[in-house]
Structure 1
Amino acid sequence: MNTKRWIALVVAAAILGISLVINSAFAIFQSTLGTGVDDLLATAQTDVSEEVIEDGDFNKRIAVLNVEGTIQDTGEASALLGQTGYNHGLFMEQLEQVKNDDTVKAVMLKVNSPGGGVVESAEIHDKITEIQEETKKPFYVSMGATAASGGYYISAPADKIFVNRETMTGSLGVIMQTVNYGKLAEKYGVEFVTIKSGPFKDIGNPTREMTADEQAILQEMLNDSYESFVDVIAEGRDMSEEQVKKLADGRIMNGRQAVDAKLADDFGFEEDVLAALRTDFNLEDAQVFEYGASQGLGSLFSMKLNSLFGKDLESQMITKLLTENSSPRMMYLYGEK
């Protein structure tokens, strides 16, 4: 192993050690100082900030929300270790702010995502429809380079969907993947011993081949999630189930194909979507603002780690390997995590 790899391993171990120390410190503070620390940490990590993009009437505002990256709940550990992508808890809090803020009259949702978890995607979809039904606030979606699978799932209930001609979208369907490294382990003399209470307790075990019965169980689960996806598109796009299923075979498409297939309404960049919202809902003088995260304890620690380790790709890959949940799960996802 060369020097660079040794350094990368030491860096990864140091990151893991630092996160464990911080978690331990938080636990001590909580046990010593009581629930007041819980409130402080929650405020520090989840506060939502606002940045004005275009000045205008504060009582008539357009909120801009961003879904950037894989839609999944990665937990606190990834936040401490410097993740700068999608934050599910923060995004759900932003949606709640949209619902409760009477000055927000419309929403532009910017989506640049290959999709993600079925649970997280469904949670976003349901929250958007709840806001629409209870407040009548319109949602316009501006799709970026990629808005596929779960990225489309969360876009489906929007009043209008705008794409670029080169936007990669579609990939309507569900996928679950696992790795079988049994033969590799056997090659190196590694033997796995599994003790289980039932024949399917270790379903998806990566050390052996999956049985036909196990595949059937998982396939039934995927089929249920697929039908939910079809229903979401049919309702959001006012299409029949038959029309949706002709498109929901996992294929990807560009923006032009999406408009032709009636999965999107029009072409446009972000400024075009904002202009359409202003015109369609009499918001010409509205203030436009964008939600973001305040600089809490988690984000400050993230900044320190990023400044310390910079853009070293190998360190980032090892950190990701140490912190990601590798268990197989159903995903509305195009491409790899």
Structure 2
Amino acid sequence: MRENIWKYVSAVLVLLLAVSSVAVVLLYMQASELKSYTPSNVTPVVVETSLNSTCNETSYLLQIDELQRQVEFLKAQLRELNRPEGNTTIAVVPIFGLIDDYTALQVVPLLRKVAENDSIGGVVLWIESPGGYIGPVREIYSTVKKLNLIKPVVAYTGGIAASGGYYIAVAAEKIVADPLAEVGSIGVIYVHYDLQKNYEMNGIKVDVFKTGPYKDMGAEWRGLSDDEREMIADSIDTYFQAFLQVVSDGRGMPLNETRLYATGRTWFAMNVTGSLVDETGDIDRAIAVLSEELNVTKPRVVIYGSGGASNFGIFGSTALLLDPRYVNAYLKP
């Protein structure tokens, strides 16, 4: 990057601190929303709210508004500092197929190089993916989120950005999708292999030496205990709440509204325009949206290679950010 790199770094740190503050306050407010929610078939209990409570809520809302304006200001400053001098290049970075460690090893370094390239003004993140493993998805999401602070990112899908694919997309400034592209599948799925009876039928005996009762939790040679099922359910819910939060933050939707789309299904983009996606169109429209963001008319467009396909497979008990329709084909005991 240019000579004033430390100015960029300092500004990024300040911005991340502000974003963290916003996230904490939002979590507080959204927790309050959930506590006040009453199912339609339950008779509500009326509880009088004190004036002090109302004032606190107003104060939090004002703090959120102020922090959000500061975040937008700092982001604008960062982007201005990183605006290319002369001809502007738009980088099209593909994320195709199921997402695993190999995908992250290809995509993360590429996005970091794009961030350091002074000639590149912004990025179109071309996503065609039903999702994948939680760790790689979150790593790519984090990288895109940081990149979007410095250079605007527009996510695009022509076919599918589901589950982990959509998780990554919400890190972008805007999402453009083909009208018939499938988006959403907000949720988490856990796959457990229980081959105990298969082992017994084939005369296979497994001796396990372990230091604690849960050390082989999820192993394919036995089923799950009730305690283990409860622990796995808690883990899945934690991943799910994180997914809800990134969608809520990325799409600017209240948490309860986000939950309406968190049934695990996908939608055609044309039916969720204005909520899960910003607008419909093709890859050229996504480039045009980014060009408008950069205020350029004829940018140079460079499409990067995807690095080839990985040998994706679900080899053991694991949690996934993956559209459930794709699970069975990739089970590899």
Q: Shared fold (TM-score greater than 0.5)? A: yes
CA distance in 2, matches of 1:139, 1:277: 7
The number of equivalent residue pairs is 242
1:126 aligned partner: 142
Please tell me whether residue 328 in structure 1 is matched to residue 317 in structure 2: yes
Deviation, 1:160, is: 1.3
| Equivalent pair of 2:183/2:276 in contact (CA under 8 Å) | no
Match of 1:117 among 114, 133, 156: 133
Match of 1:72 among 93, 100, 114: 100
Unaligned 5+ residue runs, structure 2? 1-84
Q: What are the equivalent positions in structure 2 for 1:1-337 lying under 5 Å apart?
A: 59-74=87-102, 87-133=103-149, 135=150, 137-259=151-273, 262-292=275-305, 324=313, 326-334=315-323, 335-336=326-327, 337=330
| Equivalent pair of 2:93/2:306 in contact (CA under 8 Å) | no
3-state SS in 2 of match to 1:62 = strand
CA distance in 2, matches of 1:174, 1:324: 17
TM-score between the two structures when normalised by the length of structure 1: 0.67
| Equivalent pair of 2:115/2:147 in contact (CA under 8 Å) | yes
Percent identity, aligned pairs only, is 28
CA distance in 1, matches of 2:86, 2:94: 21
Deviation, 1:143, is: 0.8
Task: Supply the AA of the counterpart residue of 1:72.
Answer: D
CA distance in 2, matches of 1:324, 1:239: 34
3-state SS in 1 of match to 2:304 = strand
| Equivalent pair of 1:170/1:258 in contact (CA under 8 Å) | no
Task: Supply the AA of the counterpart residue of 2:111.
Answer: L
Deviation, 1:72, is: 0.7
3-state SS in 2 of match to 1:154 = helix
Higher relative contact order (CA closer than 8 Å, sequence separation 6+): 1
Unaligned 5+ residue runs, structure 1? 1-56, 75-86, 303-318
RMSD of the TM alignment (CA)?
A: 2.2
Change (3 A) 1:163 1:221: same
Task: Supply the AA of the counterpart residue of 2:209.
Answer: I
| Equivalent pair of 1:114/1:151 in contact (CA under 8 Å) | yes
CA distance in 2, matches of 1:72, 1:184: 28
